[in-house]
Amino acid sequence: MTTVTSPLTGKVVGLAGVPDPVFSGAMVGPGTAIDPVRRPTEAVAPVDGVVVSMHPHAFVVVDADGHGVLTHLGIDTVQLNGEGFELLVNKGDMVTCGQAVIRWDPAAVEAAGKSPISPIVALEAAPDSLTDLRESGEAEAGDQLFSWS
C-alpha cells in the first residue's frame, strides 16, 4: 500500500477540476489535483522513492512498490520553458516524502496566463486501486491525498 501525500498546500479540487481534458479525463491515470496557494512555494515529494522523470514543471517519483506518482505543476506550464521554476533535486535522486523537489510561484504562473492547478496522478493505476481519494477541502503539503494498493 502506497500513501500518496500532497506535494502542495492549497485547495483540493480533484481531477474533474483540472482545465485540461487529458488530466480531467484521467487519461494519464487516476488521482486528484491541488489549486495551490498563490505565493512562492516548494513542491515536495508525495512519496519516498526515486525521481525517474524531472522537468521544471513536472516530476515523477517511483516508490519501492514500483508505483509512479506524477506531480504536474500547473497546466500548459511546459510553455513557460522552465521560467520561474527552480529544480532542487535531480533525476535519479532518492527523495523522502515531504522533501522539497521544485521551487515555484503559482501566482507568477497565473500571471503568465496559465492555470496553477496541479494534478497528482497515480501513473498506470487502475481506477479501483485508489482508496480514500480526496477531491475537496483544504490540504497542507504532506497531508494524505489517497492510498494506492
55 is catalytic: no
Count helices and strands in the chain by DSSP H and E runs: 2, 14
Residues of the chain with pLDDT under 70: none
Say if strands 41-44 and 100-104 run parallel, antiparallel, or are unpaired: antiparallel
Report how far apart, in Å, the C-alpha atoms of 33 and of each of 10, 64, 65, 135 are. Answer: 10, 23, 22, 8
The confidence score (pLDDT) of residue 47 equals 98
- Report the distance separating Cα 73 and Cα 58, nearest Å: 6
**What pLDDT score was predicted for residue 127?**
83
Say which of 55, 57, 67, 72 is annotated catalytic: 72
List alpha helices for 44-129, DSSP H.
106-111
The domains of the chain, with CATH numbers, are 10-130 (2.70.70.10)
What φ, ψ does residue 79 adopt, rounded to 5°? Answer: -70, -10
The model scores a pTM over 0.85 = yes
